[in-house]
Amino acid sequence: MPDSLRLFTRTQLDELDKSYRRNLINGLSGYKSLCLCATQDAEGRMNLAPMSSVIHVGAHPPLMGLLLRPHVVPRHTLENIEQTSYFSLNHVTEATYRQAHQASARYDPEQSEFEAVGLIPQPSERLPLPYVAEAPVQIGLKLRERHLLLANSTVFIVGEIQELRLLDQAIGADGFIDLQKTQSVTVSGLDSYHRGERLARLSYAKPDRDPSDLPL
């Protein structure tokens, strides 16, 4: 092993200070998507929570996945999704990341995080969910399936996309969404926010040649 690498065995991980371990393990997944998940309950009371565990599941049918920690912070999110079957995912930007971070605070259950952090709920005309009006990428989803992860009682849910509202000027001729135009941000660890700077778009990989740069 090169000198510059530091080894942590599993025993050493288990013996670390709890806060140090939380930072370390949360950092391992690298740069993460950052979305605000917006929901409402059966009475229309709205909830907002930042989520950094959103993944692409498939394009056709259009599916996204999300890990929820029902025993930690965003309890209302899962309860609302179970009541209504609907939720929205909304990109966090350079203009809103401080409000998104603040939305993770443990507010009084009667208080809407929208009001508390100063973001505007935008009702959908078709679906029982709010979007975040400020977001350049707004995704409306219907719950498709849920999986309880036995390892730590978290819940992985899969949502099927019902409608999209996207910043028009960020959509390329080939459908590519330019995240520098949307000014979407990415989070690392628990609390570090970043903008992206493009290195390259690469052509589809084939075994017999090196990838080439796509025009931007």
Stretch that binds its own copies, among 8-16, 40-48, 79-87 (CB under 8 A): 8-16
Cα-based angle 31, 186, 122 (whole degrees, multiple of 5): 145
> Considering beta carbons, is residue 26 or 85 the nearer one to its own copies?
26
Shortest separation between residue 203's beta carbon and its own copies, angstroms? 7
Q: Compare residues 42 and 201 and give the one whose CB is closer to its own copies.
A: 201
68 bridge partner residues: 155
CB environment 131-153: b (16+ within 10 A), e (fewer): bbebbbbbbbbbbbeeeeeeeee
CB of 128 to its own copies, least distance (A): 15
Q: Least CB distance from residue 74 to its own copies, whole Å?
A: 12
Number of residues that bind its own copies (CB under 8 A): 119
Rounded distance between C-alpha atoms, residue 2 and residue 163, angstroms: 49
Cβ atoms of 136 and 89 within 8 Å: the answer is: no
How far apart are alpha carbons 86 and 94 in whole angstroms?
Answer: 27
194 binds its own copies (CB under 8 A): yes
Q: Rank residues 42 and 75 by Cβ distance to its own copies and give the closer one.
A: 75
Please answer whether residues 81 and 155 qualify as being in contact, where contact means their C-beta atoms are separated by less than 8 angstroms.
Answer: no
Alpha-carbon 49 to chain mean position: 10
Q: Does 15 bind its own copies (CB under 8 A)?
A: no
Q: Which 129-148 positions form the footprint of its own copies (CB under 8 A)?
A: 133, 136-139, 144-145, 147
Stretch that binds its own copies, among 40-48, 75-83, 154-162 (CB under 8 A): 154-162
Distance of CA 204 to the CA centre of its chain: 26
Scanning 24-32, 37-45, 76-84 for contacts with its own copies by CB under 8 A, the matching segment is 24-32
| Span near its own copies by CB under 8 A; candidates 29-37, 39-47, 76-84 | 29-37
Minimum distance from residue 142 beta carbon to its own copies (Å): 9
For the segment 161-190, give every residue that binds its own copies (CB under 8 A).
161-169, 171-172, 174-177, 179, 184-186, 188-189
Handedness of CA 44, 87, 96, 134 (dihedral sign): negative
Residues 65, 158 contacting (CB under 8 angstroms): yes
Total residue count of the chain as it appears in this document: 216
Q: Which is nearer to its own copies, 53 or 85 (CB)?
A: 53
